[in-house]
Amino acid sequence: MEFPKYNATCHPNEYIKQMTAHCKINKITNEQEILEFCKLMIDSTITLPNEINSLNELVMTLKSHLTFNIFKNTCKEKLKFLKYVSEKKGGNTCAFLSNFRSLCNDAEINDSEEIKNLLFKTLPPLNDFCKMEFKKRIDGIDSMDEILKVFSDVVFDELNVIEYDSLIALKHVATGKYLSTCKKDKSIAVYAGDKLPNSNTIWLAKTKHSPSTDINKLPYQSNKIFYNDTLYLYNGDYKDYRLYIDDNKSPITGHAEVSINNASVEKFSRLFKDDYAIRFIKSNSTHNNDYVKTKDIIKLQFLQTGCLLRSHDSTFMIGNKLFQEVIGHRERAGGNDKWIIELI
């Protein structure tokens, strides 16, 4: 393994650290011997005084050389032109933040406000969600580690927050089965059955009005689904049908039956009746903000009746096939009311 060379293209601290590691690998532990190796591996075009008696003195001498200012300015310029690219577009957040931290360290930028400003400017100019959320969440945070954590939280939220008109699936926590549909004589049954997402398990989340008209949200939040938003779930397989509770009783337990109903053109005036309005209630979410994110554990409530969506091990037959019952109830909420929401 070759010893590293110093030619003013790395930080002096990093050079000394690498040299010390190489020396220890080669069983050289005496500081004066390490110092001699360090001086020997410095590019001959970088002239240094003879009287350097410690590794700390060598670091300070290298940092006082004009080449170090050139190195720092180069790192600062790299930071100015650094741009964040999300995983969705082929980027790597981990590598990006590692590079950003390294450049700040090499440029000796320690001021938290400058670090925040530089990181903010790496975000895509049209990504209002990331820019506004970063500004909101970063207030009062000063450490580099926490600043980078906030940044990563924001950019991953942007990928995982569920928007209106998104395709989603609802997986029952207790049984691992997805909220599904199938034909039942002349109607369509809702049940918990399939253990892998498919066309029967896909739902489309819609809102009653244009998302941009919601006065409780900022413009950049308008197309994001919040907990307690009023929304409607359309079935992905039967695209004109939406989830609702009808007047019938469920086949096994006699609770309110969950079904899907046709939203045909002639019924357009009744399309967004409150019978079909639902909301997602936060259950065991791992975050504190109002956004609904993929993999959140939620409860689903029908607003008109107050019923919660529940499934359990009770099954019913359609033809010769068994189906796990899904119901609406007003009893005390429990584990059978929990669903994992997944972005498709």
Q: Amino acid identity of 244? A: Y
Does the pLDDT value for residue 265 go beyond 50? no
**253/209: higher pLDDT:** 253
Which pLDDT score is estimated for 184? 66
* Distance in angstroms between the alpha carbons of the first and the last residue of the chain: 49
Counting Cβ atoms within 10 Å, is residue 327 exposed (0-12), middle (13-18) or buried (19+)? buried
Does the pLDDT value for residue 262 go beyond 90? no
- At residue 33, φ and ψ (nearest 5 deg) are -70, -40
Give which of 179, 178, 238, 230 is closest to 206, Cα–Cα.
230
pLDDT band at 314 (very low <50, low <70, confident <90, very high): confident
**Range of weakest confidence among 113-117, 148-152, 277-281:** 277-281
**Structure token digits, residue 120:** 């903010």
pLDDT tens digits, residue range 141-192? 999 999 999 999 999 999 999 999 999 999 999 999 999 988 766 678 888 9
pLDDT band at 1 (very low <50, low <70, confident <90, very high): low
DSSP string of 33-60, one letter each residue: HHHHHHHHTB-TTS---S---SHHHHHH
Which pLDDT score is estimated for 266? 38
What CA–CA distance (Å, rounded) separates 122 from 110? 18
CATH number for the domain whose boundaries are 167-343: 2.80.10.50
Q: What is the mean pLDDT of the chain?
A: 90
**86/210: higher pLDDT:** 86
What CA–CA distance (Å, rounded) separates 233 from 68? 60
What number is the average pLDDT over the span 244-250?
80
Interior CA angle at 295 toward 289 and 299, to 5°? 75
User: Which sign does the torsion angle of CA 215, 216, 219, 222 carry?
Assistant: negative
Where in 230-329 does DSSP place strands (E)? 231-235, 241-249, 256-262, 278-282, 297-302, 308-318, 321-329
Which pLDDT score is estimated for 263? 66
pLDDT tens digits, residue range 65-85? 999 999 999 999 999 999 999
What CA–CA distance (Å, rounded) separates 281 from 187? 29
pTM of the full structure: 0.85
